[in-house]
Amino acid sequence: MSEHFDVVVIGAGPAGYVAAIRAAQLGLKVACIDDFIGKDGKPALGGTCLNVGCIPSKALLDSSRQFHNLEHNFAVHGITAANAAMDVGVMIGRKDKIVRQFTGGITALFKANKVTAIAGFATLQPDRKVSVKQVDGGSREFSATNVILAAGSVPIELPFAKFDGERIVDNAGALDFTAVPKRFGVIGAGVIGLELGSVWKRLGSEVTILEALPDFLAAADADIAKAAAREFKKQGLDIRLGAKVTAVALKKDGVHLAYVDGNGEQSLVVDKLLVAVGRRAATKGLLGEGTGVQLDERGRVQVDEHCHSGVDGIWAIGDCVRGPMLAHKGSEEGVAVAELIAGMPGHVNLDTVPWVIYTEPEVAWVGKTEAECKASGIEVRTGSFPFAAVGRAVAMNETAGMVKVIAHAKSDRLLGVHIVGAAASEMIHEAVVAMEFKGSAEDLARICHAHPTLSEAVHEAALAVDKRAIHKAN
């Protein structure tokens, strides 16, 4: 007979493990099944985010930032160091240690909350049964009152540039180079391309990023994308827009790319190629015959605003459903679904999910861009403020970038806040709170901000919506 659980969660990434822990906190009997195998060949909890995504990429971004600053940005402070060197092995070892610390942390949290962890590949069967092909070769079946699908996502592979794990890599490969590639190519100037392109550029690679779209960072506000592009260009990131890759060939002297842009046929030779053209929901093999659960045209599990699939007791959260593919969006959905299962109100407001790109400077936003407002026929007033006029930014030698606040022209309600600048990832939460409480630009403008801080740029940009910024001409 199959063992019964109140909740079976498939996937132990940030969406799944948070759902499992919250459900267990609420007194439910929970199992969480995950098939991820870590670098050491053993099952590892935490999914993409902890193993090959958010956490390891931020570890490398930080190591490379320290090295770059030492080499290029400390002289202005009077600090110089002769023969600065980067030991890539030590950097990767530090990253692996951080990954182990956090994946091990989830194992400990599962134990503490009495969540049963099962290593294997799970398939949902009709009547809330789940069959599992275990990593150790065995197979099992469980029954559940509720099943939460949290299978996450996998990188999209281009048919003419198949990953070989050596010279053509995905995110996992680009987080594990053993030496700095001389020529590093990236297909896709999205979040992964910019973050991992920055890492290897700072360590000395010649980085070329080929982007199919004619516009840079099309998802961001145009003013912010323009300011970010200017800074990335100064750093030597060679971003080629409107570049459609047509062929990739592995040759002795490197990876040869053929692409077409506005000037016709072009070519590029690199030592390592990262393909970062987006991710797709990991729903292959997730659903057995006759479950009734539907996938949409992009292979994502179809759900309503409460992450319910429409089939009794079957829920889905995180990267495998609609909405942004972000760890914090998935984990909020995990909490909401666990609470709904326990009979509590659970809710995620997708309109106030913040976005952050961890480049230098950082890019962060919440809400709509000015172009999105215009396209929806919403009249807006905007205010912006440059970090170059902020005392703390000048004292820190971090003057690049700006804050832009977008408010409804009549009601003044905040519709979007966009930041490119140092610590944008932290500053954006002031705007998230204001928008979650349905605040106005005037609310932000009337809040006392500590001086001197970078956040004063948010305050001044909010004042600028009403043309009364103090430290710039309105």
Are 379 and 198 a contacting pair, CB within 8 Å?
Answer: no
Alpha-carbon distance 262 to 435, whole Å? 40
Q: Least distance in Å: CB of 104 to ligand FAD?
A: 15
Question: Is the Cα dihedral 207, 213, 214, 216 positive or negative?
Answer: negative
Alpha-carbon distance 14 to 27, whole Å? 20
End-to-end CA distance of the chain: 73
- What H or E segment, with its residue span, contains residue 210? strand 206-210
Q: Which of ligand FAD, ligand NAD, none does residue 15 bind (CB under 5 to 8 Å by kind)? A: ligand FAD
Q: Which of 318, 346, 383, 416 binds ligand FAD (CB under 6 A)?
A: 318
Q: Least distance in Å: CB of 152 to ligand NAD?
A: 10
Give me the residues that bind ligand NAD (CB under 6 A), please: 158, 187-193, 195, 210-213, 245, 276-279, 324-326, 356-358
- What tokens were used for 1? 């007979």
- What H or E segment, with its residue span, contains residue 168? strand 168-169
Phi, psi of 123 (to 5 degrees): -130, 130
Q: Which of ligand NAD, ligand FAD, none does residue 357 bind (CB under 5 to 8 Å by kind)? A: ligand NAD
Q: Which of 7, 8, 15, 287 binds ligand FAD (CB under 6 A)?
A: 15
Q: Which of ligand NAD, ligand FAD, none does residue 33 bind (CB under 5 to 8 Å by kind)? A: ligand FAD
Cα dihedral: 7, 12, 13, 19 (round 10): 20
Q: Which of ligand NAD, ligand FAD, none does residue 35 bind (CB under 5 to 8 Å by kind)? A: ligand FAD
Orientation of helix 327-341 relative to helix 14-25, angle to 10°: 30
Closer CB to ligand NAD, 93 or 324, in the complex: 324
- Closest residue to ligand NAD: CB criterion: 190
325 part of the interface to ligand FAD, by CB under 6 A: yes
Q: Least distance in Å: CB of 385 to ligand NAD?
A: 24
Q: Which of 146, 153, 208, 382 binds ligand FAD (CB under 6 A)?
A: 153
Closer CB to ligand NAD, 211 or 430, in the complex: 211
Q: Least distance in Å: CB of 70 to ligand NAD?
A: 24
Are 212 and 193 a contacting pair, CB within 8 Å?
Answer: no
Q: Which of ligand NAD, ligand FAD, none does residue 330 bind (CB under 5 to 8 Å by kind)? A: ligand FAD
Q: Least distance in Å: CB of 151 to ligand FAD?
A: 3
- What H or E segment, with its residue span, contains residue 15? helix 14-25
Phi, psi of 384 (to 5 degrees): -135, 160
449 is catalytic: no
Cα dihedral: 247, 251, 254, 255 (round 10): 20
- What tokens were used for 152? 């996450």
Closer CB to ligand FAD, 199 or 406, in the complex: 199
121 part of the interface to ligand FAD, by CB under 6 A: yes
- What tokens were used for 276? 């970062």
Q: Which of 171, 208, 291, 359 binds ligand FAD (CB under 6 A)?
A: 171
Q: Which of 8, 57, 414, 430 binds ligand FAD (CB under 6 A)?
A: 57
Q: Least distance in Å: CB of 245 to ligand NAD?
A: 5
Cα dihedral: 68, 69, 72, 75 (round 10): -160
Catalytic residue among 306, 429, 451, 471: 451
Closer CB to ligand NAD, 190 or 386, in the complex: 190
Give catalytic residue positions. Answer: 451
